[in-house]
Each structure stands twice: as structure tokens, then as C-alpha cells.
Amino acid sequence: MRKRELQLKTLAEKAQGCSRCPLHRGRTHVVYGEGPAAASAMLVGEAPGRAEDEGGRPFIGRTGSFFRKMLASCDLPSEELYITSAVKCRPPGNRDPKKDELTACRSAWLEKQIELIDPPLILVLGKCAAVQMLDWRGSLKELRGGFHSRQGRWLQVTYHPTAAMRFPKIREDFRKDLQRFGRNLAHSQNSNR
């Protein structure tokens, strides 16, 4: 096993015992994330839902299935991406993660994941993930569309897949965002060859 893969696996195992924020109390599994350790793009969602909490994997419920199909239809096969979330434990009743929970999980796990995987591009899914990744306090609309620089990487912000699943208008914009992300990923892969 390569060094980076091993380091990521070790971190994921360590995270299973994490109690750095109150979300540990109600969880079944810590949903650390999944994907290749050398993925050229990372996707950061909000938080595990019920299905993810039970199954221990990100985006495997109804929304997850919708999202993975949309990714595939935009030439972004989910198995080639590293998928994780802003917090790794399910908030009670699927409420939004609180600021202190976001901060705790970011410093304990998310920053280390990003550092190890070292992806040039990150797709940020929804408002909580935008708060987590860009310390953003405005509306999602203001961030959506453009690319944002963060510590030498490019971040693209889009809607959370749940909103895209529920609302047809958002779904179309979401598809355009995924296609745009796919084009930028292909460009970044070609320029690294």
C-alpha cells in the first residue's frame, strides 16, 4: 500500500473513536470519506444523513444515489473522486451542523484529509460546506458559479444535492455546475500530463 493511502487509512481508523464535538453522542458510524488517496478532485458535502450514518459511507441514501448518477452523467465517476463531508457524524434530526462542530471536525479531520489527498480542485456542496471551506457567511448564490482560491487550490461552490433532487430549477443549475467542474478537472489533468 502506498504511503499516502496508508496515512489516510490510519487517520480514518483514528477518527472512528473521535469525541471532539457533541455529534459523537448520537452517531452509529463516523463517515470519514471514501475514494482514491491520489484523487485529483475532492467533493465536500455537509454531513451524513440516516443512511450514511447506518452504512458508514458518504452519499449512499436516496440523495446519494441521485447524486452519484448525476456525477456519472457529467463524466465525473464517483469512484475516481474523494468524497467526504464537512462533519463526519450525523447531526440529530439532520439539522445543520453548528459552528463549533464544523470547526472541531475541520481541524481534527478535514484539513488533514485535504493535506494528504492534495487535490487541485474541490467541489463544495451547499451552504454548510461553504462555511466550512471558505468561512463564508453570505448567501450561497453569491458564491456559486465562480472558482475560489484557498491555500493553493481551486474551490467551486454549488448547491447541496438534496436541493437539486427536490427542485427542478436548481437541478438544472446543479448539472451545469457539475459539467463545469468536470471540464476544469479534465483541463487540470491534461495540464499535469
List, as one string, the DSSP characters of 46-70.
S---HHHHHHSSSS-SHHHHHHHHH
Q: Identify the residue among 11, 108, 116, 170 touching ligand SF4 (CB under 6 A).
A: 108
Quick check: 104 binds ligand SF4 (CB under 6 A)?
yes
Q: Which stretch binds ligand SF4 (CB under 6 A): 1-9, 18-26, 128-136, 180-188?
A: 18-26
Cβ nearer to ligand SF4, comparing 24 with 153? 24
Question: Exposed/middle/buried for 169, CB within 10 Å: 0-12, 13-18, 19+?
Answer: exposed
Q: Identify the residue among 5, 9, 19, 166 touching ligand SF4 (CB under 6 A).
A: 19
Q: What is the three-class DSSP state of 33?
A: coil
Instruction: Output phi, psi for 156, to 5 deg.
Output: -115, 135
Q: Are 47 and 128 in contact (CB under 8 A)?
A: yes
Quick check: 76 binds ligand SF4 (CB under 6 A)?
no
What is the distance between the alpha carbons of residues 103 and 86, in angstroms, rounded to a whole number?
A: 9
Q: Which stretch binds ligand SF4 (CB under 6 A): 19-27, 61-69, 122-130, 133-141?
A: 19-27
Cβ nearer to ligand SF4, comparing 22 with 182? 22
Q: Give residues in contact with ligand SF4 (CB under 6 A).
A: 15, 18-21, 23-24, 30, 87-89, 101, 104-105, 108-109
